[in-house]
Every structure is written in C-alpha cells, then in structure tokens.
A and B are shown apart, each in its own frame.
Chain A
C-alpha cells in the first residue's frame, strides 16, 4: 500500500502554518492581558483546544473531498479506507507534536519572563514540560476528533441530512477519549460539559484512547465499505 503523501502533504503544510498563526495570536493575547497588569495563565492550553475542531474538519474532509476523488480515479473503498486510516494515524501524532512544541515554547518564554505556566484544565500531565505525557494526551484527543470527523463526514456524504444521526455517536467517541485523559467535552451549544469517569492510569488512558480510535475507524468503515459516489447535481 502506498503512503498517503498526497492527503498528508497539503494538510501538514496547513497545520504548520496554522500552528505558527496560533502562536502569534497567543503572543498577542498575552501582550494585551499583561498590558492591563495581569499575569496570564497558559494561553497555549486554551489555544490548543481549537486544534480539536481543526482535527474534526480534517476528518470530515477525508470523506467529503478525498473519498470521491479516490473512487473517481479507480481506487477502491478498501484502499481509500486503509490510506485514510494511515493518514489519521500520522496526522494525529503530527498535530500532537506541534501542540507539545507549542507548550515548550510557551514554557521557555514564561520562564524567561519569570511567570509560571498555570494550567487551568485537568490533564494527564502536571507540567507542560512533561513532553511524553503532553504528547500522549493530545495524541489521544486528536485521534478521537479526527476519526469522529471521518465518521461524521462519511455519514453526511452517504445519507445527506441523515448524517445528523452520526453526530451523537461521534460525540460519544470524543467524550470517551476525553474521559480517558481525565477531562470533559465542552460544546458551545450545551450549557454543561459532557464527561464520563474513566479510571485514571497510564494503561487505561492508553487503552481507552487507542480503543476509541480503532472503534471510530471501524464504524467509519461500516459506512464507506459500499458507499456510492454521489450522482452529479442536475
């Protein structure tokens, strides 16, 4: 099987540019906050949550944009499914690495200024300099959001508005992954966070995180394994 370089190439470049932009925005926000005499918490921790939504969109685009092009160029659903799974499996770690690098950069800057990098949400790590744990947490999170996106995107591509039914399942996957890293899912449309209690240990976190990713891929495959290419709009 070929490496999905065409899928990853464009998205990786966009992710790098996006990470640089996000860092710049964080620096600006910190500058504004300090101008009012306050000491900011970790700005990167808040910014990193936007990457979840970006992951979701990338996952959706896999089914909405790449799947029909693959099939139109004579590839099978099986080949696409395998390449999409590899693409998610590589892109998730890339995003996690970018977020981890962002924490380290922020940590260095805060240390130079003499601030402490205060984290305000639960994490599997205590300090942003615990690189393996930071990477692991965001890896689990992004893999879940990417597969949730692929699942939702496949549902909408196949069933149109009927794809709405995939959203609760996708939310369930993400909530489980968030539970594995000890946090909850906050959606703008809901007044309360959604969460599940998952026993917190490294093994459980890894197992539930990886399990969520694999279940998400399996559910997506159930939708795309005989998915028709849409007829052109008349």
Chain B
C-alpha cells in the first residue's frame, strides 16, 4: 500500500510528537522505522493505523485519507508493544474475535503460529506473561494478512529464540504473501537484514529515508596501522575509533569517492561495512 504523509503534526498538550513530518513509502517492501525513545515512532504508526487523528497535516494510503475510512482500516494492522490490544478472553477467543472482525484474517495460520510460539489456546490473555502476550500480538499481526502490517516493538518481552522464530515466520510469510510491512524496533541488528528501506525519525522529524543498502554504504569501518588510519580519516566524520596495539579500527560516516578508495588501498587499509546501529546512533545521537 502506498503511504503519503505530508506535514504531519501531532501534539499532546505542550508536547509535539510529530513536527511537520513528511514521508512517502511506495509500499510492497519491508521498511524499518527507527528512532530513539520519544522520537515519534509510535505516534506515526498510530496515525497510519487510524488509531489517532492527527493534529495537523495529511495522511493518505493508496490515495485516500485513512481516519475512519473502513475500507482502508480493515486492510491495515498495527500490533503494538506486548500485543496490548488483544486482551479479551482466552488466546483462542482473541483469534476468533480477529477472524470475525477482520476480513482476510487467516485463523488456520494463526493457530499454527500459536503452536510455533508455544501458546496455550485456552489460556486467558490477561494471565499470560509479557512475552506470551507479545507472541500472541505477533500472531495477530502475521495472520491478519493485512496489506499494510505494522509491528511497533511488538515482540518486546519475547525471548531470543521466539524473536528469531518471528523473524523467520515474517520473512517466509512476506515472500508467500507480499505486502507492505513496517517494523519499528530497537533490536536494530537483529532485523536489519530484513529491511529493504529504512526510515529514521528523531524529535518528530524525518532524518533519513533511503534503501538500507544505500544507508549502510554511508558508513565504513577502516582498519590498519594506526598512523595510516589517522592520516586517512583526517577530514572525515569519525564515529568512533579503537586502538589495539599498533592497529586502529575507525568507523567513518560519509561516502568515499574513487580517490579515497585508492588512497585506502595504497595505504594497505581494510575497508568493511559497519553495523546499521552505529549509523543510527550517529544520525540520531548528536541532535539531542
């Protein structure tokens, strides 16, 4: 689903959560939505899912306004922290409710996912642990088969094996049923490989929106003799630098042109990729 956000503003009293944010997503991809705590991620997703009416600006999905638009909202699923919106009866009742309310919800797939995550269908949702509720939320999101499916830290509380099971299920279901998926997360390195595009917001404003490969290409790890590394990185943006004996490993931000690449090769320096998390910290850390 194509998402167009123009000059979006959301205020909670004196707090501005979204500050004239504009963004266009073509859809049909897995997007990573990254931002620090309080950056406005949850508010943005809430507006996209029509959970909230924005204070100002415009949100259109597939060219239509989303708030109170039943034909759109029944094709949108937002699962939030801990699956907080499924707390009604037992797990199987929650699934039954979803089947009843949401066209396209795949109950059979939901039940197979519940087995995958070890959820007892008869257990009361309110009596579940945080991790179990999160897993049930994830089940709801995947089984919704909604053309726009969003997970907002939905797997918070799930243990590592369950999170990895979720990532595998997400990818295989996305390949079988292509749709637009937005993942908002702080476990950046765990899911970075799934992202086709990355959106980073900070203080309610858009910082970066680009393909993840392009974003990753902006950062480079430079390793080699300390003197050569220091000479090479002079004038570049160095995110961090660590020295071990005569060797220094530095992380730099910014595109390297052909001349720089040749200089590195001539100096015997090793160039490599850096974690997306380091780029995220750089892009959002200095603005506070």
* Chain A residues at the B interface, C-beta cutoff of 8 Å: 5-6, 10, 65-66, 68-79, 226, 228-229, 231-234
A200–B79 Cα distance when bound, in Å, is 53
Q: List, in ascending order, chain B residues with CB within 8 A of A234's CB.
A: 81
Q: List, in ascending order, chain A residues with CB within 8 A of B100's CB.
A: 5-6
Stretch at the interface among B23-31, B70-78, B171-179: B70-78
Q: Nearest-CB distance from B144 to chain A (Å)?
A: 8
Q: List, in ascending order, chain A residues with CB within 8 A of B101's CB.
A: 6, 69-70, 73-75
Interfacial residues of chain B within 54-79, with CB under 8 A of chain A in the complex: 67-70, 73-78
A78 near B70: Cβ-Cβ < 8 Å: yes
A74 near B76: Cβ-Cβ < 8 Å: yes
Check: B233 CB closer than 8 A to any chain A CB. no
Tally of chain B residues near chain A (CB < 8 A): 34
Check: B274 CB closer than 8 A to any chain A CB. no
A228–B85 Cα distance when bound, in Å, is 13
B69 near A72: Cβ-Cβ < 8 Å: no
Most buried by A among B67, B68, B76, B89: B68
A69 near B74: Cβ-Cβ < 8 Å: no
Q: List, in ascending order, chain A residues with CB within 8 A of B70's CB.
A: 74-76, 78-79
A76–B70 Cα distance when bound, in Å, is 6
Q: Nearest-CB distance from A72 to chain B (Å)?
A: 3
- In the complex, besides A10-B89, A73-B77, A231-B46, 5 extra interface pairs with C-beta distance below 8 angstroms are A68-B85, A69-B101, A72-B78, A74-B73, A74-B76
Q: List, in ascending order, chain A residues with CB within 8 A of B86's CB.
A: 69, 72
A74 near B82: Cβ-Cβ < 8 Å: no
With A73-B101, A75-B74, A78-B70 as contacts: A232 and B51 at CB distance below 8 Å: no
> Across the two chains, which residue of chain B brings its CB closest to A71?
B51
A229 near B97: Cβ-Cβ < 8 Å: no
B97 near A73: Cβ-Cβ < 8 Å: yes
> Across the two chains, which residue of chain A brings its CB closest to B85?
A72
Q: List, in ascending order, chain A residues with CB within 8 A of B77's CB.
A: 73-74
Q: List, in ascending order, chain B residues with CB within 8 A of A10's CB.
A: 89
A9–B247 Cα distance when bound, in Å, is 71
B98 near A228: Cβ-Cβ < 8 Å: no
Check: B42 CB closer than 8 A to any chain A CB. yes
A232 near B81: Cβ-Cβ < 8 Å: yes
Query: Ordered nearest first, which 5 A-B pairs have the shortest CB separation?
Result: A72-B85, A74-B74, A229-B51, A232-B81, A73-B101
A69–B94 Cα distance when bound, in Å, is 9
Q: List, in ascending order, chain B residues with CB within 8 A of A78's CB.
A: 68, 70
Q: List, in ascending order, chain A residues with CB within 8 A of B82's CB.
A: 232
